[in-house]
Chain A
């Protein structure tokens, strides 16, 4: 099980990365910034190798249970972070992304990890398409959530005129609001595609496009919420603080749809 070996290396690297990035928040020196990124890079590479080897070992896309889904979610989150860092250079975002990644990955590691026989219901080309869209969308919404949290912190510092180390590390409000907006405009089409491919697959597997399964219902609620959020920004100028709050509420919805529905509600969408 070579994939589990690499998975564990990634987990260890993300643990160190989390510690390093959190320390960075309170440290005045920026000397170990490079270390933080190097260790995150190591984590990301081994995680990529883990996903590839698992795909080969299982002979299908490894997003078929909660362990695999959360693992892929963590991977997508770090991918998003690295891309944003490349473009915007908001390295302080790492101090928020890495802890979330680590929490998600360690929860994933607590779940059964072995590769099981693929349920006949999942034997379809739609497996990869649907799950990848849905989870990448969730990662994008998570970035928007983190940008929202950072925005609210920075806004509070500026309004209450508190100038601490965190204030000096956080970027401008404009940039954080922009990141929030871009993350959602990126996540929204992914969610849309996730829902569409899901219903097509449902038509093959369950014989109907839409049967108000809890997962479907909640996805639709999320879709409506984010659509409203984008619309209100463009038409009524709901930016800044309001957008930050909405991104946070949206994220609660994402977590519920992703994990909560399976734990609390009965439905056909039992795999993830």
Chain B
């Protein structure tokens, strides 16, 4: 039995292809049931997000399985020619699939490394398959382990920490200046898109109130309503600055709207309570010199971009640690998967019993020195017959079930009952499966 993955992602396919192949709620349920109905497909899970569509299956004959999944995808979107679709598809087998899924779930393969959504999407895909009973021993374990690995990566590295968007970076900085945003007030001057986003993030982070100021009073009213905030007239925003703590500025003005002298005066009137300026406008609207005033902190768009880049770099570094965790877990899973194979279990069982027979025979013969060679041979034959007769039924059953998912359960049971150690040859274990 082999684990097979056929899929495409943002790394291999443009959005025009991805969006057409994606499976939404009902399509997903129908899809996995239809796929599972093929007798070649023993188990299947479909993971469909906006960045990837991946079909995980276990099959008896890998080549046939891959062809079957491709046909299935083609039947789902017949207007994409099969050859064209194949160009974007990647396939993995066994260990390759394990590594791929573990990396995907841990967000190491995501467009934005460390994003948190993907784990939930993996869980949902698995839950849907469980609900429709399209999985068995192998995929169940595979998906549970992928979730486990993802959690390990999240807790043992800092991959998900620190903001990777400009508007979040601004909120993060605000939290390093103010201990509690709930008692602070923000102000949005102008109505650039990025500024609105930053203000919205402040609201989401629990800021007490947003004051909106805009040359267009109606626009200001609309925005204020959406933040549950209030409006101040554009001529008065400097007056208002005595009371607010975070100022987001994103007007279209070609010059400085906020000048050094203004802020020097305001900070004095604020009794030095810190004031955090975020200038998202290009050209800049705030005199950069004000950063030199005590208790004033000014960040422009380049500064925020630098924060984001540092954070992305950290995430990449942390991703390296994540890869190590994934490698470790892939090793464990592959060990388990290999040990499930029926043939090695049969060999191990035979070896173990033969070993017992040989040892016990030697001990007995040591005490029965008076026996003639013929008599020795007869006793040897007798023990042989006994173990062969005892092993006969279990071995037949194992061989019979070897080609179904049940066989894996049998093998695992035998392994545990007889305390067998399955030797997985190192070479085989480390071989990176070539793409099919």
A interface residue numbers (CB < 8 A to B): 28-29, 154, 158-159, 161, 163, 167-168, 170-175, 178, 236-242
Contact A236 to B294, CB < 8 A, known contacts A161-B306, A172-B179 = no
With both chains docked as a complex, state the minimum distance between the C-beta of B319 and any C-beta of chain A, in angstroms: 13
B177 touches A158 (CB 8 A): yes
Q: Which residue of A is nearest B296, CB measured?
A: A159
> Is B77 interfacial (CB-CB < 8 Å)?
no
User: In whole angstroms, how far apart are the Cα atoms of A159 and B180 in the complex?
Assistant: 20
Contacts of A175 in B (CB 8 A): 179
Q: Which residue of A is nearest B180, CB measured?
A: A174
Contacts of A29 in B (CB 8 A): 156
With both chains docked as a complex, state the minimum distance between the C-beta of B32 and any C-beta of chain A, in angstroms: 40
B176 touches A236 (CB 8 A): no
User: In whole angstroms, how far apart are the Cα atoms of A39 and B274 in the complex?
Assistant: 37
B297 touches A238 (CB 8 A): no
User: In whole angstroms, how far apart are the Cα atoms of A168 and B306 in the complex?
Assistant: 15
Contact of A154 among B176, B306, B318 (CB under 8 A): B176
User: In whole angstroms, how far apart are the Cα atoms of A175 and B181 in the complex?
Assistant: 12
User: In whole angstroms, how far apart are the Cα atoms of A173 and B156 in the complex?
Assistant: 28
Contact of B176 among A158, A239, A241, A242 (CB under 8 A): A158
With both chains docked as a complex, state the minimum distance between the C-beta of A176 and any C-beta of chain B, in angstroms: 9
A240 touches B177 (CB 8 A): no
Q: Which of B19-27, B66-74, B222-230, B265-273 contacts A (4 or more CB under 8 A)?
A: B265-273
Contacts of B177 in A (CB 8 A): 158, 172-174
Q: Which residue of A is nearest B173, CB measured?
A: A158
Contact with A along B269-281 (1 / 0, CB 8 A): 0111110000000
With both chains docked as a complex, state the minimum distance between the C-beta of B75 and any C-beta of chain A, in angstroms: 49
With both chains docked as a complex, state the minimum distance between the C-beta of A168 and any C-beta of chain B, in angstroms: 8
Contact A167 to B179, CB < 8 A, known contacts A158-B297, A240-B274 = no
Q: Which residue of B is nearest A241, CB measured?
A: B294
> Is B76 interfacial (CB-CB < 8 Å)?
no
Contact with A along B169-187 (1 / 0, CB 8 A): 0000101111110000000
Contacts of A171 in B (CB 8 A): 179
User: In whole angstroms, how far apart are the Cα atoms of A238 and B178 in the complex?
Assistant: 17
With both chains docked as a complex, state the minimum distance between the C-beta of A25 and any C-beta of chain B, in angstroms: 15
Contacts of B303 in A (CB 8 A): 161
User: In whole angstroms, how far apart are the Cα atoms of A26 and B274 in the complex?
Assistant: 28
> Is B158 interfacial (CB-CB < 8 Å)?
yes
A163 touches B179 (CB 8 A): no
Q: Which residue of B is nearest A178, CB measured?
A: B179
With both chains docked as a complex, state the minimum distance between the C-beta of A172 and any C-beta of chain B, in angstroms: 4
> Is B383 interfacial (CB-CB < 8 Å)?
no
A172 touches B175 (CB 8 A): yes
Question: Can you add 12 more A-B contacts, CB < 8 Å, to A158-B297, A239-B273, A240-B295?
Answer: A29-B156, A159-B297, A172-B175, A173-B177, A173-B178, A174-B179, A178-B179, A236-B271, A238-B272, A239-B272, A240-B294, A241-B295
> Is B44 interfacial (CB-CB < 8 Å)?
no
Describe A's contact surface by its main secondary structure.
helix
User: In whole angstroms, how far apart are the Cα atoms of A237 and B275 in the complex?
Assistant: 14
Contacts of B178 in A (CB 8 A): 172-174
User: In whole angstroms, how far apart are the Cα atoms of A159 and B310 in the complex?
Assistant: 16
User: In whole angstroms, how far apart are the Cα atoms of A178 and B176 in the complex?
Assistant: 14
Can you give 18 A-B contacts (C-beta < 8 A)?
A28-B158, A154-B176, A158-B176, A159-B297, A161-B303, A161-B306, A163-B307, A163-B310, A170-B176, A171-B179, A172-B176, A172-B178, A173-B178, A174-B177, A175-B179, A239-B295, A240-B274, A241-B294
Contacts of A240 in B (CB 8 A): 272, 274, 294-295
A242 touches B294 (CB 8 A): yes
Contacts of A159 in B (CB 8 A): 291, 297
Q: Which residue of B is nearest A240, CB measured?
A: B295
With both chains docked as a complex, state the minimum distance between the C-beta of B207 and any C-beta of chain A, in angstroms: 14
With both chains docked as a complex, state the minimum distance between the C-beta of B321 and any C-beta of chain A, in angstroms: 9
User: In whole angstroms, how far apart are the Cα atoms of A174 and B276 in the complex?
Assistant: 12
User: In whole angstroms, how far apart are the Cα atoms of A190 and B156 in the complex?
Assistant: 44
Contacts of A236 in B (CB 8 A): 271
Contact A237 to B272, CB < 8 A, known contacts A159-B297, A163-B307 = yes
Contacts of B234 in A (CB 8 A): none
Q: Which residue of B is nearest A237, CB measured?
A: B271
Contact A167 to B176, CB < 8 A, known contacts A158-B297, A241-B295 = yes
> Is B333 interfacial (CB-CB < 8 Å)?
no
With both chains docked as a complex, state the minimum distance between the C-beta of B27 and any C-beta of chain A, in angstroms: 43
Contacts of B272 in A (CB 8 A): 237-240, 242
With both chains docked as a complex, state the minimum distance between the C-beta of B11 and any C-beta of chain A, in angstroms: 28
> Is B336 interfacial (CB-CB < 8 Å)?
no
Contact A173 to B176, CB < 8 A, known contacts A159-B297, A241-B295 = yes
> Is B299 interfacial (CB-CB < 8 Å)?
yes
Q: Which residue of B is nearest A236, CB measured?
A: B271
With both chains docked as a complex, state the minimum distance between the C-beta of A229 and any C-beta of chain B, in angstroms: 14
User: In whole angstroms, how far apart are the Cα atoms of A237 and B273 in the complex?
Assistant: 8
Q: Which residue of A is nearest B291, CB measured?
A: A159
Contacts of A161 in B (CB 8 A): 299, 303, 306-307
User: In whole angstroms, how far apart are the Cα atoms of A242 and B180 in the complex?
Assistant: 22
Q: Which residues of chain B from 52 to 82 have a CB within 8 Å of any chain A CB?
A: none
Contacts of A163 in B (CB 8 A): 307, 310
User: In whole angstroms, how far apart are the Cα atoms of A96 and B295 in the complex?
Assistant: 24
